[in-house]
């Protein structure tokens, strides 16, 4: 009798997990679909709204809002940008369990909030909106202060504001592999390094340091072969000719395949237990 009860509980648990996994896979596909339609303004915002309205968790609702915010910046919809930013709850993108706060399931979203969107806004001369976004992210930045995405964002801000060394020391340390104690997704560390190489190359170019500039070029050219790289390089005014033409599919490739909500919760739980 007890064995039968245990079996029923196990079966019920498996069914629930299958259902949740299927639901999250569908939502992840919707996320990628939104990103891939960035060039078509009407289609992009239609898909973004569909994602937000159909999402069944605060995590995916806010993932959708982050993409809509990115699209508003990209397509110069300033009023929409302010409206979406006001409605955004970045705290809901963080999983909090026994251990440290985890962004396993949403580091792609924080990439947009801390790096991609500020880059677009600065390039368009919309520093007021960039600083408004920065104010919105202040509390989250403090909570996630050991995350690479937050640390790199702070150094890029130095570049935009023309402060101190404009982030050069940090870019060089990351490129040397010196980031012990910093949290980051293995899927995104390559992208962070490419950003550092681009920022360092731009500063070397401004200094007239041809030797150091050329040392950055292999990585920068690889960065230029991606859609996110082309947008970033254009944003800082670094003109680099890619070795191969970016296809339409590559131009709109997502930052990374989103991690499922269930997997993220399990990994965060394991991290908490480990501590």
pLDDT tens sequence across 62-95? 999 999 999 999 999 999 999 999 999 999 999 9
- pLDDT for the residue numbered 243: 64
pTM summary value: 0.83
pLDDT in tens, 219-233: 999 999 998 999 999
User: Per-residue pLDDT for 174 more than 90?
Assistant: yes
pLDDT of residue 242: 66
Is the pLDDT confidence value at 18 over 90?
A: no
Please calculate the CA angle 105-106-108 and round it to the nearest 5 degrees.
120
Show contacts of 125-134: CB within 8 Å, 24+ apart: 126/73, 126/78, 127/160, 129/73, 129/78, 129/81, 129/82, 130/160, 132/82, 132/85, 133/85
């Amino acid at each position: 009798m007890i064995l039968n009860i245990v079996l029923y509980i196990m079966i019920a648990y498996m069914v629930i997990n299958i259902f949740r996994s299927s639901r999250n896979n569908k939502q992840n596909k919707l996320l990628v679909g939104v990103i891939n339609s960035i060039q078509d303004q009407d289609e992009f915002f239609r898909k973004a709204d569909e994602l937000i309205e159909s999402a069944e968790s605060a995590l995916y609702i806010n993932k959708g809002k982050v993409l809509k915010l990115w699209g508003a910046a990209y397509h110069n919809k300033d009023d929409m940008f302010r409206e979406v930013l006001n409605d955004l709850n970045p705290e809901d993108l963080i999983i909090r369990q026994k251990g440290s706060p985890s962004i396993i399931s949403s580091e792609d979203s924080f990439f947009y909030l801390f790096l991609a969107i500020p880059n677009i806004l600065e390039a368009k001369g919309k520093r007021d909106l960039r600083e408004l976004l920065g104010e919105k992210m202040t509390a989250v930045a403090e909570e996630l202060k050991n995350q690479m995405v937050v640390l790199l964002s702070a150094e890029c801000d130095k570049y935009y504001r023309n402060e101190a060394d404009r982030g050069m020391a940090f870019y060089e340390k990351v490129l040397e592999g010196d980031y012990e104690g910093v949290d980051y997704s293995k899927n995104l560390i390559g992208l962070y390094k490419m950003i550092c190489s681009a920022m360092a190359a731009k500063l070397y170019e401004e200094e007239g340091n041809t030797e150091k500039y050329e040392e950055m070029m292999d990585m920068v050219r690889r960065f230029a072969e991606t859609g996110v790289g082309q947008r970033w390089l254009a944003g800082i005014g670094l003109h680099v000719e890619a070795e191969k033409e970016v296809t339409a599919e590559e131009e709109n490739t997502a930052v990374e395949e989103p991690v499922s909500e269930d997997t993220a919760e399990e990994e965060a739980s394991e991290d908490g237990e480990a501590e």
